[in-house]
Structure 1
Amino acid sequence: MIRFGREIAGELDLAERREWLCTNGLGGFASGTVAGTLTRRYHGLLVAALRPPVGRTLLAAKLDETIAYDGLATALGANRWADGTVAPQGFRALESFALEGTMPVWTYAVGDALLEKRVWMEQGANTTYVRYRLLRGRAPAALALEVLVNYRDAHSLTRANGWRMIVTTVTHGLRVLAFEGARPLVILAEGAAAEPAHTWYERFDLPRERERGLDAREDHLHAGTLRASLALSGALTVVLSAEALPSLDGAQARRRRERHEEGVLRSWRRRQPTARRSPAWLAQLVLAADQFISTRAIAGWTDGTTIVAGYPWFGDWGRDTMIALAGLTLVTGRAELARRILTTWARFVDHGMLPNRLPDAGSPPDYNTADAALWYVEAIRAYHAATSDDALLREIFPRLEDIVRRHREGTRHGIAVDPGDGLLAAGEPGVQLTWMDAKVGERVVTPRTGKPVEINALWYNALRAMAAFARRLQKPAEPWDAAAALTNAGFERFWNERSGCCYDVLDGPDGHDDTLRPNQLLAVALPESPLARERQRRVVDVCARHLLTSYGLRTLAPDHAHYQGRYAGGPRERDIAYHQGTVWAWLLGPFAVAHFKVHGDAETARSFLIPLADHLGDYGVGSVAEVFDGDPPFAPRGAIAQAWSVAEALRAWHQIGG
């Protein structure tokens, strides 16, 4: 359990810096700050995934509570307004905040009364539960809960402009219909009186949006107030749902959530014999891992499963899914989910390529990636190594053959093997193809056109994996062996003796690129290295000297002219910095694995992951951020919870420790 007292929970700046996240296995979520303020457009008690894992729609923004106890009324809500005021300031009554599993829990002290509030989501449903319980008090307490609602895409903002929703009373609560054809929202609370309302609260201020250079003003509709009296130990459960018949039993709903999380941890402990001796923060990472697993709605198919790349704004991305798969599913003992994810994404392979991402609005997938399909091959290898599932391998092998054949012969965006050295080239003007994919207008910030080092490490591993697959299935392996040998020999060209490490890109428009970036670590960390042992060590040591930080690796060495030490500002400024010095947490996993491979010291290698334990109490509480500043103190930035950040830490910890 992660817990804060008043020293954090009662200080607005510190409490707002920390955000909580609940998810539902559909891509929907609830999120906000420890302080109770809304600071992002993505904050809300119910962001429903109407087309899982996307179609995310903000339906319920928040509940603003007031407690009347012993003749005194105290507001427990907190809001920032566009004029700079903060009112009410309920965080002043906040005695503690805790994360129990993935469930945020607030405790408010009002005189000698103590009120607990906890939030969770129903797994597999667009339903959020908010449960209040009077833990201490000499007399009953009266609760008044103002329900603020909306109906908009999660990425946008609302201006009231006379918008009239239809608010009606129903048994145990209220029903809100934003417009004809919208998904209704029900707000239910057994034992509470429901009073409908229709007042727009305008000009909420969203400071995190302003920091990101975006519109920072929002309006929400006060759709009604729930009133109830709580005796000592009494509870009130508020249900916010886009489902037709949500359960009103808060105690049973909480138990379902707890059983789900107990099952997640049980699967991990069965898979990892050393899990029971692992530090507590690792169990928290396992629960965080579960938050990224989601249904993917596919017409005519019921088993669609995917990985949400990050919360609160990412959907499912091909590269991220395949990198994160091992850590989120195989390491945690949930191989059946890995199988479903692999078969789901197999449906989207086209011209030997996996989509970079699957769009939110049903438009065609984006196939602008040179490595997602290669990561797919690696994910299949990891899955088969963990399960020996020959049936899936036999089923998927023709698809893998097509992927490799298309890469050898040539596919989109100039992706093709150079027959002279066996290396994979990729790139065309205006298209970003590697994971360093930031683009400002029509300018690709890090084009890396030519033969990128990590793409070719992945290509070599794919060829070696195909040879092993062929042998397993009693098919000819010699052609794969020969192709791998040619690539291995060609990889020699990456070595830059003058700098004692690899070139980042070969044969680019301006020749070889010797910029020091962390991409070459994959040539050491992947299962098959094309580098000699001594060169592997030198790569790791150079990256440790110039790129390693407490929370990940810098994307560019600090002594480079284009280095950006802070990831901040508007979209343009952030995109320029994204891969020009910004620290990425997911790279900490490959670094730790590579360090262990070349130095053989498991305790030291694992120690690089330990700072993440402290980070779990910051930013996205209980999870790992997307990125960090390149300069100390390495402030967390970007998405508050990122799939591959969590996954690679888990995978590395267990791979190093056995």
Structure 2
Amino acid sequence: MSYIHFDKTQLVNLNYSLDREIIRTNQSGTYTSTTIIGCNTRKYHGLLVVPQPQIDSQNHVMLSTVHETVIQHGASFNLGISKFPGNYSPRGHKYLEDFDSEPIPKLTYRVGGVLLQKELILDTNRDRLMIRYTLLDAHSPTKIRISPFLAFRSFHNLSKANTIVNKKFKKVPNGASFHLYQEYDPLFLQLSKKCEYVPAPDWYYNIEYIMERERGYDYQEDLYVPGYFEFDIEKGESVIFSAGLTEADPKTRQNAFQKEIARRIPRNNFENCLKNSAGQFLRNRDGETRVIAGYPWFGWWGRDTFVAAPGLTLTKGDSKTFLNIMDTMSKDLTGPLFPNVGSGVMTNMNSIDAPLWYFWSLQQYIIYTGDSKTIKERYLGKMKGIIDGYRAGTDFNIHVREDGLVYGGVEGIALTWMDAVTPDGPVTPRIGCPVEIQALWYNALCFYHELTGDQEIASLAEKVRDSFEREFWSIDHGYLADLVNGDEKDWAIRPNMVFATSLPYVMLNENQNDQILETVKSKLLTNRGLRSLSPDDLAYKGYYFGDQISRDNAYHNGTVWVWPMGHFVEGYIKLHGKSASNFIKKIIKGFDGVMTQYGIGTVAEIYDGDPPHRPKGAVSQAWSVAELLRMMDLTNKI
């Protein structure tokens, strides 16, 4: 039995199955995503979701879903499922026998004497999905009918019935192409064998996405069904349905499908699930290598890229991809700042920490490869520019104070990773000197000195070290202030202090680091990561739910994040050595169960602060996966 498997009793229970989603991506940035029963619950779900750079920098849902119908003796059995007001129709999930993830998503349906298997796979390098239908058993002549539901819209928006849709189609080998709106690429739908395409254009109204309703967004959509494809299928026969932005050769589909399967890492254990998931965040398009921060709705983010890149690549020995990522990102450096939210238009530079994580990421390359020469040759000038830019002062009032500490912030803008903003402004403004920024700044200075021997930078680092302990450490509290702004100090217990214990260069002694880690362990550590605020705090919110404002208010005020736990683990190992092994392995093993929850075979963005710490946010997050891989690697090296 494979590692991830769901049986009939689980699949037919909508309360269970609709909470479990699959996401698969390819190297061009295309993805396919839905629930394990094929019922879309988000506007971001779709069988073929692709970039359309001629329109904007977003992904677009081209093919939302398909409804398959099994036909025998003139009787039709629809295997599809969609949510409409008041009901699900059709209710094809009742025919499901099981779902298997090995090596690709595989659904098996039983309709009387018919046993039909459905497998989904993306072309690694093209904007194309392939679905393989295999008739495992049948006792009489069988036909399959496939009805495609087309959207042709940004994944942030919803489609509505209209009169401007282009209802014309073009015949192509074993299929048809559709070009609903002029600005879009055409969509080619083809079969690997000869079939009949029957045009029967129609709109399906008010299809509902229950997760969007729960999140307080518009949740009803109209989808266009141009007609259907119909073909005979014999017992033991496999037929492939292809949906792509370019025409495919029907004769090559079977071989293409098999080649894609051969490229897959088996998802037969926890570590392989993580490795599979890690590769899904890497996008190679137009000569650039990017890290997508999370699926389904994130683009590439500067901060997330530098935090996640080592875990996604170096832990797997893939230093080439790592350097490709850093080369791509280095071209985006503007002054001393990187784009915070990157999606093609680099106008949002409000990240005080992304440039400092850049140093850390490059350090990890040397730690894993021992190759400092490449870092000096390619990136030293960029690093110097960042240090000089911070010292000279840059946007958002980011500057180095006389005591060497980094100050940043202006009203109405969030600069750190705690960046939720509501109509009332940033939820955690953190204007002043945030604790993790000082830890990252000191580490960056020391790393630059290590590479260059620059004594002026070494002197500045010593000044930072002295100022940091004086300004942030409290003997009475036994931990670090989260923020210093003049005489004001914020003593809220947040995970930001943990970076002062984990980075390659740290400023405090072992006793101080021990006190910090024990505080974090007792107040913030859960079996899903670190809480973003102590439950003892009056501002703590234990559940992440409701509309956008409600969620944003909880996002960094108690919600659990996986990625900072990587630095808790690293700090803990640095302090305790081999004796930390069992404790850390237990933390990692605790994540084994998440592989069959929420995003199947991957790790969520966040979890509720209160038990049972339910998964929330994006179903698959780059730095969650990356830091778990790095934690495993750190533990193996103790």
Same fold judged by TM-score > 0.5? yes
Which residue of structure 1 aligns with residue 563 of structure 2?
A: 586
Deviation at 1:480, TM superposition (A): 2.6
Verify the 8 A CA contact 1:432 1:439 in the aligned structure 2.
Answer: yes
Which residue of structure 1 aligns with residue 617 of structure 2?
A: 638
Verify the 8 A CA contact 2:336 2:389 in the aligned structure 1.
Answer: yes
**Counterparts in 2 of 1:66-81, with a 5 A limit?**
66-69=69-72, 72-81=75-84
Take 1:121 and 1:207, find their aligned partners in 2: how far apart are those partners? 26
Deviation at 1:7, TM superposition (A): 2.6
Deviation at 1:423, TM superposition (A): 1.3
Take 1:24 and 1:197, find their aligned partners in 2: how far apart are those partners? 32
**Amino acid paired to 1:20:** I
Which residue of structure 1 aligns with residue 437 of structure 2?
A: 455
Aligned counterpart in structure 1 of residue 279 of structure 2, from 276, 286, 290: 290
SS at match of 1:100: coil
SS at match of 1:650: helix
1:238 and 2:241 aligned: yes
1:557 and 2:528 aligned: no
Deviation at 1:372, TM superposition (A): 0.2
Verify the 8 A CA contact 1:200 1:220 in the aligned structure 2.
Answer: yes
Take 1:598 and 1:112, find their aligned partners in 2: how far apart are those partners? 63
Which residue of structure 1 aligns with residue 396 of structure 2?
A: 413
**Amino acid paired to 1:118:** E
Verify the 8 A CA contact 2:173 2:250 in the aligned structure 1.
Answer: no
Deviation at 1:507, TM superposition (A): 2.0
1:100 and 2:102 aligned: yes
Which residue of structure 2 aligns with residue 88 of structure 1?
A: 90
- Distance 1:251-1:462 versus aligned 2 partners, 3 A rule: same
Aligned counterpart in structure 1 of residue 188 of structure 2, from 186, 189, 194: 186
Deviation at 1:54, TM superposition (A): 4.1
Aligned counterpart in structure 2 of residue 652 of structure 1, from 619, 623, 631: 631
Take 2:319 and 2:53, find their aligned partners in 1: how far apart are those partners? 25
CA deviation map 1:240-269 (0-9, x unaligned): 00124466533322233233334x99xxxx
Verify the 8 A CA contact 2:173 2:249 in the aligned structure 1.
Answer: no
1:350 and 2:328 aligned: no
Verify the 8 A CA contact 1:174 1:194 in the aligned structure 2.
Answer: yes
Q: Structure 1, unaligned stretches of length 5 or more? A: 266-278, 471-475
**Amino acid paired to 2:591:** L
Deviation at 1:469, TM superposition (A): 1.5
Which residue of structure 1 aligns with residue 300 of structure 2?
A: 316
Verify the 8 A CA contact 1:212 1:569 in the aligned structure 2.
Answer: yes
Q: Which stretch of structure 1 is more off in the superposition, 322-331 or 555-564?
A: 555-564
Which residue of structure 2 aligns with residue 503 of structure 1?
A: 481
Instruction: Quote the RMSD (CA, aligned, Å).
Output: 1.8
Q: Which stretch of structure 1 is more off in the superposition, 127-136 or 598-607?
A: 598-607
Verify the 8 A CA contact 1:139 1:231 in the aligned structure 2.
Answer: no
Which residue of structure 1 aligns with residue 172 of structure 2?
A: 170
**Counterparts in 2 of 1:471-510, with a 5 A limit?**
476-492=453-469, 493-507=471-485
Give the TM-score normalised by structure 2. Answer: 0.95
Take 2:184 and 2:566, find their aligned partners in 1: how far apart are those partners? 43
Deviation at 1:351, TM superposition (A): 1.6
Which residue of structure 1 aligns with residue 22 of structure 2?
A: 20
Verify the 8 A CA contact 1:381 1:465 in the aligned structure 2.
Answer: yes
- Distance 1:247-1:541 versus aligned 2 partners, 3 A rule: farther
**Amino acid paired to 1:127:** R
Over the matched positions of the two proteins, sequence identity in percent amounts to 32
Q: Which stretch of structure 1 is more off in the superposition, 425-434 or 591-600?
A: 591-600
**Amino acid paired to 1:341:** I
Deviation at 1:115, TM superposition (A): 1.0
Take 2:230 and 2:78, find their aligned partners in 1: how far apart are those partners? 14
- Distance 1:592-1:572 versus aligned 2 partners, 3 A rule: same
Take 1:68 and 1:594, find their aligned partners in 2: how far apart are those partners? 61
Verify the 8 A CA contact 2:566 2:630 in the aligned structure 1.
Answer: yes
CA deviation map 1:509-560 (0-9, x unaligned): x700000101111111222221210111111111111111111111011121
Take 1:593 and 1:177, find their aligned partners in 2: how far apart are those partners? 52
Verify the 8 A CA contact 2:362 2:375 in the aligned structure 1.
Answer: no
Take 1:240 and 1:317, find their aligned partners in 2: how far apart are those partners? 29
Take 1:7 and 1:207, find their aligned partners in 2: how far apart are those partners? 22
Verify the 8 A CA contact 2:27 2:285 in the aligned structure 1.
Answer: no
Deviation at 1:131, TM superposition (A): 0.8
Verify the 8 A CA contact 1:237 1:248 in the aligned structure 2.
Answer: no
Q: Structure 2, unaligned stretches of length 5 or more? A: none
- Distance 1:142-1:445 versus aligned 2 partners, 3 A rule: same
Deviation at 1:69, TM superposition (A): 4.1
Which residue of structure 1 aligns with residue 320 of structure 2?
A: 336
Take 2:239 and 2:586, find their aligned partners in 1: how far apart are those partners? 44
Deviation at 1:70, TM superposition (A): 6.6
**Counterparts in 2 of 1:205-220, with a 5 A limit?**
205-220=208-223
Which residue of structure 1 aligns with residue 362 of structure 2?
A: 380
Take 2:60 and 2:530, find their aligned partners in 1: how far apart are those partners? 34
Deviation at 1:484, TM superposition (A): 1.7
- Distance 1:164-1:54 versus aligned 2 partners, 3 A rule: closer
1:520 and 2:500 aligned: no
